[in-house]
Structure 1
Amino acid sequence: MKILKGFAAATLVGAMAMSAATLAQEKAPDGYWLTPTIANYGRVHLLPDAAFMPQPDRTYKIVFSLTQAAKTPDVVDPGLDRVARTVNLYVAAGVPLSRLNFVAVASGPATALVLDDEHYRAAYGVANPNLPLIAALKKAGVTVAVCGQAVAERHFDFAWVAPDVILALSALTTVTTLETQGYVLMPL
Structure 2
Amino acid sequence: MYKAKTLLATAALAAVSLAAHAGTMDSPDFWTTPTVHDYGKIHFLPNGAFKPKPGHTYKVVFSLTQGGKKPDEVSPALDHVARAVNLYVASGVPLSKLKFVAVASGSATSLALDDAHYRAQFGVPNPNLPLIAELKKDGITIAVCGQAMAEHHFEYDWIDPRVTLSLSALTTLTTLQQEGYAFMPL
Instruction: Give matches, 1:2-13, under 5 Å.
Output: none
Task: Tell me the distance in 1 between the aligned counterparts of 2:106 and 2:86.
Answer: 26
Q: Residue 72 of structure 1: CA displacement?
A: 0.4
What's the offset of the Cα at 1:166? 0.1
CA distance in 1, matches of 2:155, 2:118: 12
Q: 1:139 aligns with which of 137, 141, 149?
A: 137
> In 2, Cα distance between the equivalents of 1:49 and 1:149?
43
SS at match of 1:64: strand
Q: CA deviation at 1:123?
A: 0.6
Between the aligned partners of 2:71 and 2:101, the Cα distance in structure 1 is 23
Aligned-partner SS, 2:54: coil
Q: Residue 107 in 1 paired to residue 102 in 2?
A: no
Q: How many angstroms does 1:69 deviate by?
A: 1.4
Normalised by the length of structure 2, the TM-score is 0.85
Structure 2 match to 1:84:
82
Q: Give how far 1:70 is off.
A: 1.0
Q: Which amino acid aligns with 1:101?
A: K
Aligned residues between the structures: 160
Q: 2:33 aligns with which of 23, 32, 35?
A: 35
Aligned to 1:9: none
Give CA deviations for 1:50-78 in whole Å, capped at 9, x if unaligned.
Answer: 10010001010000000111100101000
Tell whether the 8 Å contact from 2:52 to 2:93 is kept in structure 1 after alignment: yes
2:48 to 31, 47, 50: 50
CA–CA separation in structure 1 for the residues paired with 2:29 and 2:49: 23
Give distance in 2, aligned partners of 1:31 and 1:94.
19
Gaps of 5+ in 1: 1-28
Task: Measure the CA separation in 2 of the matches of 1:31 and 1:118.
Answer: 36
RMSD of aligned alpha carbons: 0.8
CA distance in 2, matches of 1:133, 1:112: 14
Are the equivalent residues in 1 in contact too, given 2:67–2:74 (CA < 8 A)? no
Paired letter, 2:161: P
Unaligned runs of 5+ in 2: 1-26
Which residue of the partner structure matches residue 128 of structure 2? 130
* Aligned partner of residue 80 in structure 1, secondary structure: helix
Partner of 2:131: helix, strand, or coil? helix
Partner residue of 2:96? 98
Cα distance in 1 for partners of 2:80, 2:109 equals: 16
Identity of aligned residues (%): 65
Aligned to 2:165: 167
TM-score by length of 1: 0.84
